[in-house]
Structure 1
Amino acid sequence: MSDARTAPDDIRRGPVTSSAPVRLLLVEDDEGDAILVREHLADAGLDVDLVWVRTLDEAIDRLHVDLVLLDLGLPDAMGIAALERLLAADAPAVVVLTGLSGTDIGLAAVAAGAQDYLVKGEVDGETLGRSVRYAIQRRRLEDTDRALYRSLVRAEEVNRLERALLPTPSVLDQRLEVRVGYRAGRDGVLGGDFYDVVERPDGSVLALVGDVCGHGPDEAALGATLRTAWRTLVLAEVPTVDLLGLLERVLISERARPEIFTTVSMLDVTPDRSSVDLYLAGHPVPLLLGEPSTLLPTHGRGRALGIPVPGGWAPVRLELAPSWRILLYTDGVLEATIGDGSDRLGKTGLLRIVDGAVAAQGDLVERVLHDVRELHGGDLVDDAAVVVLGWRA
């Protein structure tokens, strides 16, 4: 981890060590001064790829360099305003080299963002070479610190979204098996997959798995909003049959574009655990685990939330055996490709993996996610969420 406070020690250890020439842009309208700068750089022993321009407008078009030597008296810009304009154009390290002397203007230049301030006539090769080396090194340290800060901010944002998207299930019944798992996609950024499991005061348990179309921070934020809204509605004891309709109203009011939709799979397990109501809103069908595992019925499938077509979400009542387990998942699992090929895992492949995980015992969710990733040959392209509910008589 970089720390700006260690920069002077790092700089004293020596000059920039890259074997490539230093790419240097000289912004100077006086030809004699430009020649003198070249001589100073040669005396310093710097390997320099030097580009010379006479105006600030020319300089702004050629900022793909390591450092800019800037005069503050140019035909199209004067004083600190010239420096500020150059920095606003996303210039790299800038060392001011000018005929304007005085402590105040030097301090103003450094305060505005220059790495150093040198006065013509007071500079020799050693001074200029040292300033160039140190300025580039300091700028690299600053860039590293900024990148680290951005990384930390991004990690904190991901953590906040993860807590909202992937909550701890709220279930008091110790006999009910509840397992959840999630894997972010290849870029490590949370997408729009979300889940939740909540037990109501009457003993019924509701489980939800959803997927906002798309992938990225906006979709993750919308997924977090929908997940929070769903739990709020459940805790408010809104009838299960009304939940998806109200969730769709939240989606429509919060989505950034009218084409954004969300698929959902939801279970409502009765207090005696003998049956379950299945709600499908354009989402992949859950699996009833067994020997072998099977897909749950699909005849009650409804449209995805946010799709402007007629139709609602009628529950399908399923009577369960004395012991049972149901697996819900998002389509990131199904869309995993097999090795380097283009064939997708699909429902048939997922059933094989699930049956293998059941036979192997252990943590079913972790085993399924691990085996899907292994078959894919690395991190999944899309994020994937898995929830298992189970009951043993």
Structure 2
Amino acid sequence: MPVPIPRQRAIPAVESGQAQAAPAVGGPSSEEAVRTEDAGRNEATPAENDTTLDAAPADDVHSGVSATDASATSVSATGASSGAAVTANAGGAHTPLTLLLIEDDPTAAPIVRDLRDSDDRPIRVRTARNLTEAERLLTDDVHCILLDLALPAPGRASAGAGDDELAVLRHVLRLAPRHAVLALTASGDAERGAEAVRVGAQDYLFKDELDGRLLSRAIRYAVERKRSDTAERRLAEGKLRAQENARLERGLLPTPLLEGSLLRFAARYRPGRSRALLGGDFYDTVRTPDGTVHAMIGDVCGHGPDEAALGVELRIAWRALTLAGLCGDELLNTLQQVLEHERDDDEIFATLCTVDIAPDGRRAGLCLAGHPAPLIARPDRPARLLPHDNNGPALGLLPGARWPRTQVELGAAWSLMMYTDGLIEGRIGEGRERLGQDGMVEMIRRQLSEGLSGEALLRAAVNEVRELNGGELTDDVAVVLLDRVP
């Protein structure tokens, strides 16, 4: 949860006895900050002071984060829950490393004045006597919190028996989930310190065993460990999201319903989007109770996730309508209504090819809605395209359109290949010439003559088209192959 910061205020820098603080980047100088503070109150409280031992360049802060890395981490305007808590502020040239000490008696706290970072530059210390002050001082430039576990929990005057000994730590972790936290406990209370680390602190220290060198090293270690933990968590979350997306997209790909049919089915799918598993192309195949095998392939214009989602909706609608007994013009007209209701833009359209293969496997009805004609190959003649003279308009272009249904003879043995235009629109070499349907037909003829069939044929076809294009295809590619072997 984001850390609530009631208001932005200037944090005055004071003399440490060694060097004067450099002005905060993008804010008032130390003198201006002091004047601003004095104008609003009569006396500055110790908890609102920064002890600045020197200024250090932001790109050299011990966290090891470059300016590029830091700028890539969003800094929230509402508080210190942003990634800036564990990375150097890349907004300026002189941003020192800052420690926030939360201790009810800062004057008695074992904090020395010579804390140094890994490059032997001073660390700025900011002190708060309670959680209310800490919340106000927990700004974006704080890199680490040193918390006294003996502080009472919020709403309690003192820690009592039976109370949660780490309630104050849990409260700070909720306020600053992205800050490094060091727990400060009594000497010999290692069990409590270890429990603090288990709860979420980066390390624990004993109050009466601290010295400047030990504390400086602990601060650097805590910031680096928090940074590493944050990066690891983000990586794990990214992998989990990718796995969930992959499972979702795989689940949206169809499972052919061909039980009882003698036809063999194969499909190949390659989305045009980088790292995607699903594109705007879609296909499906089902067998109805009368023995007819219905196959479909389509393409939604565009390549993004919205087009992929629309393709899934059209495929599911096609399957439902087909199993309900619709086919041909009636089915396509209903699909067009689905498209018109589901699309986000009136200019979105989809091409479609449907084939209804008779139970005996020798004849089929063909409907084309702005889609390339399928290819048929028989043992006794070269591969060729099915007739496409009655090609109707794509779905979503013309209200009240009609899609003629053409009867075609398939024969006793055949292979029928349906595809989207991604297979034929790839370029040939470095020129502007595209493969086209004629080039695709010649390629399939040659591959069939080499004895390829089924999955091997589709894999070879897609790979060769990609090689001819000189790399990955920009458009989605879907290919479906149905074979009838007596």
Distance 1:176-1:62 versus aligned 2 partners, 3 A rule: closer
The Cα shift of 1:207 comes to: 0.4
CA RMSD of aligned residues (A): 3.9
Q: Does 2:275 correspond to 1:188?
A: yes
Match of 1:241 among 318, 325, 329: 329
The 5 Å alignment of 1:23-102 reads 29-32=12-15, 34=21, 38=53, 46=62, 66-67=87-88, 69=98, 79-80=134-135, 83=138, 86=140, 94-96=143-145, 102=151
Distance 1:45-1:200 versus aligned 2 partners, 3 A rule: closer
Which residue of 2 is the match for residue 144 of structure 1? Answer: 232
Partners of 2:435 and 2:53 in 1: CA distance:
63
Contact 2:354–2:366 (8 Å) recurs in 1: yes
Deviations 1:321-380 (A, max 9, x none): 332222111122122233454433222222232122212223222221222223233332
Which residue of 2 is the match for residue 19 of structure 1? Answer: none
Contact 1:209–1:265 (8 Å) recurs in 2: yes
Which residue of 2 is the match for residue 258 of structure 1? Answer: 346
Which amino acid letter does the alignment assign opposite residue 302 of structure 1? G
Distance 1:28-1:102 versus aligned 2 partners, 3 A rule: farther
Q: Which moved more, 1:333-342 or 1:199-208?
A: 333-342
Contact 1:40–1:126 (8 Å) recurs in 2: no
Total equivalences in the alignment: 351
Contact 1:264–1:304 (8 Å) recurs in 2: yes
Contact 1:40–1:128 (8 Å) recurs in 2: no
Which residue of 1 is the match for residue 425 of structure 2? Answer: 335
The Cα shift of 1:178 comes to: 1.8
Deviations 1:177-230 (A, max 9, x none): 221111233502121111101111111111000112222322222211211111
Length-normalised TM-score, structure 2: 0.62
Contact 1:196–1:227 (8 Å) recurs in 2: yes
Segments of 5+ residues of structure 2 without an aligned counterpart are 1-9, 23-50, 68-75, 90-97, 101-125, 154-167, 185-206
Partners of 1:360 and 1:38 in 2: CA distance:
79
Contact 2:63–2:88 (8 Å) recurs in 1: no
Deviations 1:228-248 (A, max 9, x none): 111111112224432111112
Partners of 1:237 and 1:28 in 2: CA distance:
75
Distance 1:302-1:70 versus aligned 2 partners, 3 A rule: farther
Contact 2:85–2:143 (8 Å) recurs in 1: no
Distance 1:303-1:48 versus aligned 2 partners, 3 A rule: closer
Deviations 1:42-80 (A, max 9, x none): 9x99597999xxxx97x9999598236365789xx9642
- Where 2:427 maps in the other structure, the secondary structure is coil
Which amino acid letter does the alignment assign opposite residue 370 of structure 1? N
Match of 2:259 among 159, 172, 176: 172
Distance 1:203-1:50 versus aligned 2 partners, 3 A rule: closer
Match of 1:116 among 158, 181, 184: 181
Length-normalised TM-score, structure 1: 0.75
Segments of 5+ residues of structure 1 without an aligned counterpart are 1-26
Distance 1:287-1:170 versus aligned 2 partners, 3 A rule: same
Which amino acid letter does the alignment assign opposite residue 299 of structure 2? D
Deviations 1:231-277 (A, max 9, x none): 11111222443211111222222222322211111111112222211
Distance 1:111-1:49 versus aligned 2 partners, 3 A rule: closer
Which amino acid letter does the alignment assign opposite residue 312 of structure 1? R
**Structure with the largest fraction of helix:** 1
Q: Does 2:443 correspond to 1:353?
A: yes
Partners of 2:285 and 2:66 in 1: CA distance:
64
Contact 1:185–1:381 (8 Å) recurs in 2: yes
Distance 1:73-1:244 versus aligned 2 partners, 3 A rule: farther
Match of 1:318 among 401, 408, 423: 408
Distance 1:145-1:49 versus aligned 2 partners, 3 A rule: closer
Partners of 1:266 and 1:346 in 2: CA distance:
21
Which residue of 1 is the match for residue 479 of structure 2? Answer: 386
Distance 1:106-1:65 versus aligned 2 partners, 3 A rule: closer
Deviations 1:266-321 (A, max 9, x none): 11111222221111111122112255322222211111111245522111111223
Partners of 1:142 and 1:167 in 2: CA distance:
38
Which amino acid letter does the alignment assign opposite residue 115 of structure 1? A
Relative contact order: is structure 1 or structure 2 higher (C-alpha 8 Å, sep ≥ 6)?
Answer: 1
Partners of 2:224 and 2:362 in 1: CA distance:
70
Partners of 1:110 and 1:283 in 2: CA distance:
59
